[in-house]
Amino acid sequence: MRISIIGGTGNLGKGLALRLGKAGYHIFLGSRLMEKAIDAANEIKEKNPDFKIEGLDNIQAASMGDVIILTVPFKSIEEIMTGVCENAKGKVIIDTSVALIPGKPPTTERIPEGSVAQKVQEIVGEETQVVSAFHTVSAHLLNDLDKELSGDTLIAGDNQEAKEIVMTLAEKIGLRPLDAGPLRVSSTLEDLTSLLIGMNIRFKKKSIGINFVNI
């Protein structure tokens, strides 16, 4: 399976590229600037010569993947998704974004559509399946391939087949995926990111995650 990462030069995008590349997936790392994507992909390839990874601009990257992961700041979502929308048609989009309001602790902005993931679904239209995921996995931990991942990751979406694809990806990188329900619960998932950032600050940690019990 081929996976495109929009905003793949950032903390979360690069971390997911490393973990999914290690799991054997072919990665297309996207950036607004093709050169920046190529440099980031080459840097990963130098340290991990067996990885299949290429850098492209976001729009080209979106055309290459079977699954597209969105790892960009909330303020850029509308512009980016309008740009890649055509190349994403009929595919699965994994939205990881959070409308963070910086602070100690940070909080999240209320989104008229209900959540960032629902906003993305409105932009791309019903032919494309948006799944909300990976909100509680620390980018810091993802970027350290010497450390195993553990814990749960909540997955929300309206299409079961799309959710199962995302659950398989989560499992392949060492997380336990849990089906959290339809896309409209995504605001709760997105709020967990700001909660965990606040807890990392309070406990002086970098990679607090979540674990559900008695499931």
Ligand X SMILES: NC(=O)c1ccc[n+]([C@@H]2O[C@H](COP(=O)([O-])OP(=O)(O)OC[C@H]3O[C@@H](n4cnc5c(N)ncnc54)[C@H](OP(=O)(O)O)[C@@H]3O)[C@@H](O)[C@H]2O)c1
127 vs 203 by CB, closer to ligand X: 203
Measured distance CA(42)–CA(32) in Å, rounded: 17
68 vs 72 by CB, closer to ligand X: 72
Rounded to a whole number of angstroms, the minimum distance from the CB of residue 79 to ligand X is 7
For residue 96, give both structure tokens.
Answer: 């990881």
55 vs 129 by CB, closer to ligand X: 55
- CB half-sphere exposure, 92, CA atoms < 13 A: 23
Binding site for ligand X (CB under 6 A): 7, 9-13, 31-33, 36, 71-76, 80, 96-98, 100, 135, 138-139, 193
Q: In angstroms, what CA-CA distances link 166 with 122, 125, 173, 197, 204?
A: 20, 19, 11, 24, 31
Rounded to a whole number of angstroms, the minimum distance from the CB of residue 145 to ligand X is 16
- CB half-sphere exposure, 195, CA atoms < 13 A: 11
CB 20 within 8 A of CB 27: yes
Rounded to a whole number of angstroms, the minimum distance from the CB of residue 51 to ligand X is 19
Paired sense of beta strands 152-157 and 100-101, if any: unpaired
Which 3 state secondary structure label does DSSP give 27?
A: strand
Rounded to a whole number of angstroms, the minimum distance from the CB of residue 214 to ligand X is 25
186 vs 193 by CB, closer to ligand X: 193
Rounded to a whole number of angstroms, the minimum distance from the CB of residue 73 to ligand X is 5
5 vs 165 by CB, closer to ligand X: 5
The one-character DSSP state at 75 is G
